[in-house]
Structure formats: structure tokens, C-alpha cells
């Protein structure tokens, strides 16, 4: 059997719950925008498919590809099929997103105001997975060589292809990659407290849409089990998830499949994160004239209501405010930091109620030194990273993280825990060797964070050395181009493995 070598442009379909600029909740959407673009730039025919949520068609011109697609539900009492349409966004300019398909179903997508968080989410994502396969079965204009299914919401597409559709010649030649962006989310349940009788071993057929059992299916597990290749979003995270500490109870399965597991670092879009032409910052600057950056520090202080003090050590936080991100480590040491160190803190983000309350109380207790904007804002992170002296990311675990790379590009020195993508992208400062781009700590505890903060503040006093740290960080290159080329290799390997599997079945 002929293996794909991708001498012709590889045809790749990314499947996810969200993709910028059409709909964005988290970092996954940014990746679904930037990675396919980067692949397109090096000759890959990369496309994306997500649900068609209500606001999309009002903002973007879409064309109808197929109508009245009958998607089997497996139900014995409810409807045997759901009806879906597929619409398409076609790029007109190089700056446009890649060709993007939208699965249209009024009941499960267009009547919802949010992307996530509904009791029937398992049905919504099962419909996405099976609806896409049914679309590909009858669509004549384009067919992928490889499907990249992202996170648990798309995990069942891999499962369906290897089971329900394994003998269907219209789709069974498609190789599959399951892309793990965050292993901790595995379905609509807390996977840490599942009773043994409810635990999904992944081998049983996918339940019918009407079945209560569908709510207990671990789509993350099934994606890992059935994919030809498994990827995750940084090399360190790929190693970490093989251990009980980070494996989220799937480390045993991942170790069994480690020979097809690859970690490829996410990148950032330097057309968006570029201090020389960023439309959201007041004063442009570059690595060669970072002295101009101090003007943006004053802008940040004014905009957030902080005291105008050029000698203050301004710490920026632009993040989801969750325990995964490690911000609970600040709780025991916040008063010591504020009382003993010349710091200011600017926060933008939303998240868990107790952490939001903590930052709000800190703002009240230390006016003009702490300022919190506790809601999502796409512009303020640019203001923070262009003006803050440091960016804080003390994550408990971090599959990749984009904010530390954005901060480096903008000249905010990261203070991070050595985990996942943070360990891959931030080099600890060594004054003797004059190397490093940030300040890192290993143990996940408040004392280790405190030491890292003190180190950063003390080194900030030496303006020349600090400027060199900033400059080295701005010189780092985390563009998508190198990662995109690694994905091309993974696509070819997935296709080869899948072709071998099909050949064995024919023998």
C-alpha cells in the first residue's frame, strides 16, 4: 500500500470546539487560528471545522456547502438522526483565517449563548464528531488525509472512525491525530472521583445520544486509545503526563502509547505580538531601544490607577485566575510581598470566585499599588506586557502556555514555575554566565515563589543587567513556522502508521 509522503500538499482538517477569530474562549482558539495559518504558509492545505455558533454568520460571510446531512444518533426511542448543515468561510486575503467549515444545528449550537457549560454537552460534542464524519462521507469538493482532533470535545471523532466507520471506504483511509491541550479536562464529570462501575475503559461502543451513559464517557481516554498519533503542546508536558503526578489517571495508558506520543511547542503570532507596531500600546519600541518601553510603564500605571513610580517593580498578571495557574500560592505571602518589596501588581482576567475575591481584597487593602480588572479583555494584556517589568505565571501545571511567550516578546520578564511549556520557553537567569530570560522556581509552594520574586526584584535594581535580560527575552523566537514543520512530519508519520494498519487488515 502506498504511504503518504506529502510531496503533494497535505490535506489536514483540525476539529475543535472553538477557533479564533470566529469564537474564542481560551488558548485553544488562538492555536486553531495561528497553527493552520502557519501550515498554509509552508504549503499545507490546512482547514478547520467547528460548530456554527449563533453570532458567527452575522460577522462573517459564509457559503452553504451541504444541507440536510443526516447524522445517526444511535437512539432507540428518540430521533434516529439529527439534521445538520455545513457552511464554509473562504479566505479572500492572505491575512484571513484558513478555510473553515461550520457544522450547523440550531438546537445544539445556535440556540446557545456560550461555547461550553451545558448539561447536554456530551451530546453536542458527539454530534460534532459524528456530524463531521457524515459530512466527509458525502462531501465531494475536499477530503482530508489527516484529521487532528483537539481535546476531549473532539475525542469521539477518532473513536467513531476506528469503530463505527472502520469499514467505510469513504473515510477509513483518513489518518488521525489526537491533540491534547489540557489533560485535566476529560468529559462532563470529575475524572478523579469516578466510581469503578462508572469508569469508562474506552472499549465499549459509544453510547446513543439519548443514553445517560454518554455523560460518563471519557472522550480524552478514547482519543488517546484510538488515534494513530497523539500530540501535546510542549515537549516537557509530553514527558510529564507519563507520570502519576501529571497524568490525570491516564498516565498508564499514555505510557502504553508513548511510542506515538509527540510534544510540539505551541507558538505565538508575531504579527499580533510586536511592540514596534502593536495598535494597542501607546509608544512603539524594539529590542534595540527598550529604554522607550518605560513610557508604556507610565501608561500602564495611569490606566490601572497605580502610583506613577518608575522605580516600582510592576508585576503583570494576564491569565485565567485558577488554581491550575498557581495564583493560590500568592495567598499566604501577599501581605509580606506588599509590605517588604517595592512592587505594584496589575491584574486582568476572570476565573474562580475565591481567587477573584482575593485579588479584589488585595486591591482594596493596597490602593494605588494593586489594581484588578476582573473580566476578560483582549486589549489589556498588550498594555500590561508592554509596560510591566515582569509577568507572573506560577502554574501548578502548564501544557504550554502562551502568555509567557507573549510577555517575552513584549519585554516583560517572566516569573514562572518550571513545568510544561513554561520550562521549555523560559530560561532561568544566571548572573555569572549572563544568561537567562526570566526567573523560575521548581517546587510548587509559596516559599519557592517568594524566593523567585525576591530574586527578580533584587536584579531589577541593576538596570543594565535587567535591560540585558529583557533584550534576550525579546530576541527569543517562538513563531509558528518551526512548529508547523514538525507537524508536517507528524502528519506523514500518522498517515504511514494508518496505512500499515489498513494493509494488515487486508492481509
DSSP output for 375-407: S--SSHHHHHHHH-SEEEE--S--SS-SHHHHH
355: cell is 481567587
The grid cell for 186 is: 476529560
Q: How high is the pLDDT of residue 7? A: 57
Where do the domains of the chain lie, and which CATH numbers do they carry?
12-51+122-267+481-506 (3.40.50.2000), 290-477 (3.40.50.2000)
CA 369/CA 342 separation, integer angstroms: 9
Which residue, among 349, 502, 369, 505, has the nearest Cα to 1 in the 3D structure?
Answer: 502
Residue 6 pLDDT: 54
Exposure pattern of 372-388 as b/e (b: 16+ CB <10 Å)?
bbbeeeeebbbbbbbbb
Say which DSSP state 196 is in: G
Rounded to the nearest 10 degrees, the angle between the axes of helix 155-162 and helix 219-226 is 50
pLDDT at position 48 is 98
User: What is the DSSP annotation of 312-327?
Assistant: SEEEEEES-BSTTTTG
Cα–Cα dist 365/338, whole Å: 10
CA distance 458 to 460: 5
The total of other beta-carbon atoms located within 10 Å of residue 273's CB is 20
Q: Which of 17, 14, 99 is nearest to 51 (CA)?
A: 17
Residue 270: Cβ-neighbour burial (10 angstroms; 0-12, 13-18, 19+): middle
Q: Are 150 and 16 in contact (CB under 8 A)?
A: yes
Q: Is the previous residue joined to 21 through a cis bond, with omega within 30 degrees of 0?
A: yes
Q: Kindly give the confidence (pLDDT) of every residue in the chain, 507 residues in length, as a single tens digit, with 9 standing for 90 and above.
A: 334 455 578 999 999 999 999 999 888 999 999 999 999 999 999 999 999 998 898 899 999 999 999 999 999 888 999 999 999 999 999 999 999 999 999 999 998 888 999 999 999 999 999 999 999 999 999 999 999 999 999 999 999 999 999 999 999 999 999 999 999 999 877 777 777 777 888 999 999 999 999 999 999 999 999 999 999 999 999 999 999 999 999 999 999 999 999 999 999 999 899 999 999 999 999 999 998 899 999 999 999 999 999 999 999 999 999 999 999 999 999 999 999 999 999 999 999 999 999 999 999 999 999 999 999 898 999 999 999 999 999 999 999 999 999 999 999 999 999 999 999 999 999 999 999 999 999 999 999 999 999 999 999 999 999 999 999 999 999 999 999 999 999 999 999 999 999 988 877
Contacts 24+ apart (CB under 8 A), 298-301: 298/387, 299/383, 299/386, 299/387, 300/346, 300/383, 300/384, 300/386, 300/387, 300/388, 301/344, 301/387
Q: Which of 54, 182, 45 is nearest to 112 (CA)?
A: 54
In angstroms, the CA 338 to CA 161 distance is 55
Q: 83: which strand partners?
A: 70
**Cβ–Cβ under 8 Å, residues 265 and 483:** yes
Q: What is the pLDDT of residue 264?
A: 97
The C-alpha atoms of residue 269 and residue 265 are separated, in whole angstroms, by 13
H-state helical runs in 426-479: 446-460, 463-475
- Taking the C-alpha atoms of residue 198 and residue 201, their distance in angstroms, rounded to an integer, is 9
Q: Residue 40 contacts by C-beta under 8 Å, 6 or more apart in sequence?
A: 46, 98
Q: In what order do the strands lie in the sheet with 439-441?
A: 370-373, 343-348, 313-318, 390-393, 413-417, 439-441
Q: Is the dihedral of CA 56, 58, 61, 62 positive or negative?
A: positive
Query: What CA–CA distances, in Å, run from 477 to 205, 364, 394, 473?
Result: 45, 39, 22, 9
Contact 159, 222 (CB under 8 A): yes
Residue with cell 543587567: 465
Helix (H, G, I), strand (E, B) or coil at 453: helix
Amino acid at each position: 500500500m502506498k504511504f503518504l509522503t506529502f510531496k503533494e500538499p497535505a490535506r489536514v482538517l483540525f476539529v475543535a470546539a472553538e477557533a479564533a477569530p470566529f469564537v474564542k474562549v481560551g488558548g485553544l482558539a488562538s492555536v486553531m487560528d495561528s497553527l493552520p495559518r502557519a501550515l498554509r504558509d509552508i504549503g499545507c492545505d490546512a482547514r478547520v471545522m467547528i460548530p456554527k455558533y449563533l453570532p458567527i454568520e452575522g460577522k462573517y460571510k459564509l457559503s452553504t456547502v451541504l444541507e440536510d446531512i443526516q447524522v445517526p444518533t444511535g437512539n432507540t426511542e428518540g430521533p434516529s438522526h439529527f439534521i445538520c448543515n455545513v457552511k464554509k468561510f473562504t479566505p479572500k486575503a492572505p491575512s484571513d483565517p484558513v478555510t473553515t467549515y461550520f457544522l450547523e444545528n440550531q438546537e445544539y449550537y445556535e440556540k446557545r449563548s456560550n461555547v461550553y457549560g451545558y448539561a447536554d454537552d456530551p451530546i453536542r460534542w458527539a454530534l460534532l464528531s459524528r456530524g463531521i464524519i457524515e459530512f466527509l462521507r458525502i462531501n465531494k469538493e475536499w477530503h482530508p488525509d489527516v484529521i487532528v482532533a483537539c481535546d476531549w470535545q473532539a475525542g469521539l471523532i477518532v473513536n467513531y472512525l476506528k469503530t463505527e466507520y472502520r469499514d467505510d471506504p469513504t473515510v477509513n483511509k483518513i489518518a488521525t491525530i489526537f491533540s491534547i491541550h489540557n489533560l485535566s479536562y476529560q468529559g462532563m464529570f470529575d475524572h478523579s472521583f469516578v466510581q469503578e462501575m462508572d469508569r469508562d475503559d474506552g472499549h465499549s461502543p459509544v453510547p446513543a445520544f439519548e443514553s445517560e451513559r454518554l455523560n460518563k464517557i471519557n472522550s480524552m481516554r478514547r482519543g488517546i486509545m484510538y488515534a494513530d498519533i497523539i500530540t501535546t503542546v510542549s515537549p516537557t508536558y509530553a514527558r510529564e503526563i507519563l507520570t502519576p503526578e501529571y497524568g490525570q489517571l491516564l498516565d498508564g495508558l499514555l505510557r502504553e502509547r508513548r511510542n506515538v506520543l509527540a510534544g510540539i511547542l505551541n507558538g505565538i503570532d508575531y504579527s499580533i505580538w510586536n511592540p514596534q507596531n502593536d495598535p494597542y500600546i501607546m509608544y512603539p519600541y524594539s529590542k534595540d531601544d527598550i529604554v522607550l518601553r518605560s513610557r508604556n510603564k507610565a501608561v500602564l500605571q495611569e490606566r490601572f490607577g497605580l502610583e506613577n513610580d518608575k522605580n516600582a517593580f510592576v508585576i503583570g498578571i494576564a491569565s485565567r485566575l485558577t488554581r491550575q495557574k498557581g495564583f493560590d500560592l500568592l495567598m499566604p505571602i501577599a501581605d509580606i510581598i506588599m509590605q517588604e518589596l517595592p512592587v505594584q501588581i496589575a491584574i486582568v482576567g476572570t476565573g474562580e470566585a475565591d481567587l477573584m475575591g482575593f485579588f479584589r481584597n488585595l486591591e482594596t487593602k493596597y490602593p494605588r499599588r494593586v489594581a484588578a480588572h476582573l473580566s476578560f479583555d483582549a486589549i489589556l494584556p498588550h498594555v500590561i506586557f508592554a509596560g510591566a517589568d515582569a509577568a507572573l505565571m506560577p502554574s501548578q501545571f502548564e501544557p504550554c502556555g502562551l502568555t509567557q511567550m507573549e510577555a517575552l516578546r513584549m519585554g516583560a520578564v517572566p516569573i514562572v514555575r518550571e513545568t510544561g511549556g513554561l520550562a521549555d520557553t523560559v530560561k532561568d537567569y544566571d548572573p555569572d554566565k549572563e544568561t537567562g530570560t526570566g526567573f523560575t522556581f521548581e517546587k510548587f509552594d509559596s516559599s519557592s515563589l517568594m524566593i523567585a520574586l525576591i530574586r527578580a526584584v533584587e536584579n531589577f535594581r541593576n538596570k543594565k543587567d535587567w535591560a540585558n535580560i529583557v533584550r534576550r527575552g525579546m530576541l527569543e523566537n517562538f513563531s509558528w513556522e518551526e512548529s508547523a514543520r514538525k507537524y508536517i512530519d507528524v502528519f506523514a508519520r500518522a498517515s504511514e502508521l494508518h496505512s500499515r494498519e489498513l494493509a494488515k487488515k487486508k492481509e
